[in-house]
Amino acid sequence: MIKGYLVIPLAGLGQRFVEKGYSLPKQLLPINGITTLEYSLDSIDVPKDFQVIILARSSFFTTYDLRPIFKKKFGNNVKFLEVFEKTRGSLETCLLAEKIIKKDVPLHIFTLDVNIYPKINLSKISFENVDGNISIVKINNKNFSYVDIDRANFVSRTVEKVIISNWGITGLYSFKSSKLFFQISKKYINNNINKLDGEFYLAPIYNEYIKKGFKVTVNKAWGLYCFGTPSEYEWCKAHIKGSIQTIGVATDHSGYFEKERFTEYLKKLNFKVFDVGCFSNADCDYPDYVNTLCDLINKKFVDIGFSFCRSGQGVNIAANKNPGILSVIYLNNDDFKTCLEHNNPNHISIPSEKIDNVCEKEFIEILKNTVFEGGRHQDRLSSMT
């Protein structure tokens, strides 16, 4: 018995990627060792009693067959509907699913191009005393839709492409009744309400719910990575890390013994370590070794790099002179955790006197388990890198 639907619209042309010279559609571009489509789908868990409906243009069933990716994720619960005509935005595309939706049960729509963390289980989205739910995240990106919410987390309005609050929509839209969604949406389109740049977007439909006295609430995500535009994709491809398994280390003479101790400690914990020097405590220049390490980071030979010197400042300056490197200096564990969450560094500079701190279990646990939040932090960092 079907207890809910998930609709994924894929009728867009991806014109911005075409104009940038990409030969593959953005859904098949690599990121973190998988396709962006798989990375997006990893944002959600779909119960086995849900029906998944993929609305896609014909090339996604012929030239670029995406069906195996969806089947791997959703098994036999997925249906495919080919979109032949050009639609006026994601809302109009989703209306095409009405003809194969047979029950009046909850409807969820996911527009991809993001990775939401932690992943959302659709069965956990509550519709108790509400008729709609929107997944939101703290962000400051003009390409997003935004919501105003009150203290009880009820939505007062939604706006497309205008920053009206700190809360942007992740791309997951949920409705208690599929029947009511289609009724309101068809009337909305037939009356040509709030069409933006010739397209009907999903977010404004909640305003129609609110006008009719229906309640809409929110589900707040902790983090989100965006890769819907070429610049967002390139930034994520360069900077989003998976699990840390390979670590690079560098130092000058003043951090030589500390580097040696840290290297041995990492090896005991089964990390693979690339030591680029120096290899004695004889006087040397830290940029020579730090630049070599940064080259390994940029070429993805190591997942993250650590450099030592007496103050940590010299190696930090040297690292940040390298394009593609985001280096921060280690001060304490609390500050380090915040740096990983907000600044997504790929290089850490260690003052020699902090060696005891970094050779402790707490430091390694923070390194392994702390996740970059993305969202507004991705926007800020991408403006500088």
Q: Report the pLDDT averaged over residues 168-179.
A: 97
pLDDT score recorded for residue 86: 84
Structure tokens at 297: 């980071």
- Predicted confidence band at 30 (pLDDT cuts at 50, 70, 90)? very high
Q: Which of 11-20, 67-76, 158-167, 351-360 has the lowest mean pLDDT?
A: 11-20
Q: Report the pLDDT averaged over residues 51-60.
A: 94
Distance (Å, rounded) from C-alpha 113 to C-alpha 228? 5
pLDDT score recorded for residue 194: 66
Structure tokens at 243: 């699990």
pLDDT score recorded for residue 195: 65
> How many C-beta neighbours within 10 Å does residue 138 have?
17
Q: How would you class 190 by CB atoms within 10 Å of its CB: exposed for 0-12, middle for 13-18, buried for 19 or more?
A: exposed
- Predicted confidence band at 139 (pLDDT cuts at 50, 70, 90)? very high
Sketch out the chain's domains with CATH numbers: 4-230 (3.90.550.10), 246-382 (3.40.1400.10)
Distance (Å, rounded) from C-alpha 82 to C-alpha 57? 6
Q: Report the pLDDT averaged over residues 155-176.
A: 96
Distance (Å, rounded) from C-alpha 83 to C-alpha 62? 13
- The DSSP 8-state label assigned to residue 27 in this structure reads G
3 CB contacts (<8 Å, ≥6 apart)? 47, 49, 50, 105, 106
Say yes or no to pLDDT of 82 above 90. Answer: yes
Structure tokens at 162: 């205008």
- Predicted confidence band at 242 (pLDDT cuts at 50, 70, 90)? confident
> Against a cut of 0.85, is the pTM above it?
yes
338 CB contacts (<8 Å, ≥6 apart)? none
